[in-house]
A and B are shown apart, each in its own frame.
Chain A
Amino acid sequence: MNFFTRKKSASSAKERLQLVLVHDRTDLTPAQLEALKDDLIKAISNYIDIDPEAVQIGLERDGREQRLVADIPLRSVSRHRAG
């Protein structure tokens, strides 16, 4: 192990724990989160035109609270109507 990776072991412990704890607390695997994202995109697309590629969904931590955060950019409405 070289000097630089050794130096960072505490930081990598913290980063790994942050991820693990979010999934432990919500009982949601990364695969389930992916499936949820697909379902959400389908449901929203029934009402409004979105760009599936640009959708971002993730779990965020705030103290002991978990939050599902979604960023869903809409396609321009005028373009949608013209099309």
Chain B
Amino acid sequence: MTAQVITVTSGKGGVGKTTAVANLANALAMDGKKVVCIDGDIGLRNLDVVMGLENRIVYDIVDVIEGRCKLKQAMIRDKHYPEMYLIPAAQTRDKNAVSPSDMVRICNDLRADSDFVIIDSPAGIERGFRNAIAAADRVLVVTNPEVSAVRDADRVVGILEAEEKGTPHLIINRLNQALVRNNDMLSAEDVLDLLGIQLIGIVPEDESVIIGSNRGAPVVTDGKSRAGLAFRNIAKRLQGIDVPFMDLDQQSGLWGAIQRLTGRK
């Protein structure tokens, strides 16, 4: 086994990085993969509550780095999927307690016996972001179809290219198809055209995402949720499986156009 290390980042805050990490990890675990999530948001720990694991935390990533525990001791096993783990962020420390080389070392230790390591990046382009991308084999940039989120995503894509991290893949989150139809929200096509990177998934605006977070049960576990299906599809694409993009709007040929645009059919 050699894990693929995937970092989820965005530039702008609040666009859905933590939501994406929790859901992709659960979807991959549902597919029988061994997954380790790392909360890279030091000082603003969140992935634990979104995954429903907050009561199990004993050690965190800074304890590992500073030698207070072994890596295995900081890996919290999920309640439902015994092959899914979370390494929580430290809550009382600042982001300087972690360096990019710490992240590379930890990920290298995890690579040997997992399929996926998924890192939740903090917002911004500072130290925490640098830490989060240091070990990445692949970066997913999350954005919303909204001017400031797209602008910040473009900055991040530029930095990733300058750092020779390769061109990241794009998740467009919180797309509201009714607004798009009214020409009151940037369409997925618009966002793709502006950013010029490859799409890996479009997640609709869906209140079941919030309900899932409230319960600590990410929405992929809800078979009826549209957002859940979108995340399950992204998880398949991460495994190299070619899944057609969801038809969010049956009334138009838009989705066919997007699929052509990104070379998928």
Contact = CB atoms under 8 A, between A and B. Distances in A.
Interface of A: 6-11, 13-14, 16-18, 20-21, 24-25, 61, 63-64
Which DSSP category, helix, strand, loop or mixed, fits chain A's interface? helix
Contact of A10 (B157, B183, B193): B183
29 contacts: A7-B182, A7-B184, A9-B183, A9-B184, A10-B179, A10-B180, A10-B183, A10-B184, A10-B185, A10-B187, A10-B190, A11-B183, A13-B186, A14-B186, A14-B190, A14-B194, A16-B147, A17-B147, A17-B186, A17-B194, A21-B151, A21-B154, A24-B154, A25-B158, A61-B196, A63-B196, A64-B167, A64-B195, A64-B197
Contacts of A17: 147, 150-151, 186, 194
Contacts of B186: 10, 13-14, 17
Which DSSP category, helix, strand, loop or mixed, fits chain B's interface? helix
B31 interface: no
Interface residues of B, number: 24
Contact of A6 (B146, B150, B184): B184
A64 B196 contact: yes
A74 B38 CA distance: 61
Interface string B185-217: 111001001111100000000000000000000
Contacts of A24: 151, 154-155, 158
Interface in B20-67: none
Contact of B147 (A6, A8, A13, A63): A13
Contacts of B154: 21, 24-25
Contacts of B155: 24
A21 B194 contact: yes
B248 to A, nearest CB: 15
B151 A7 contact: no
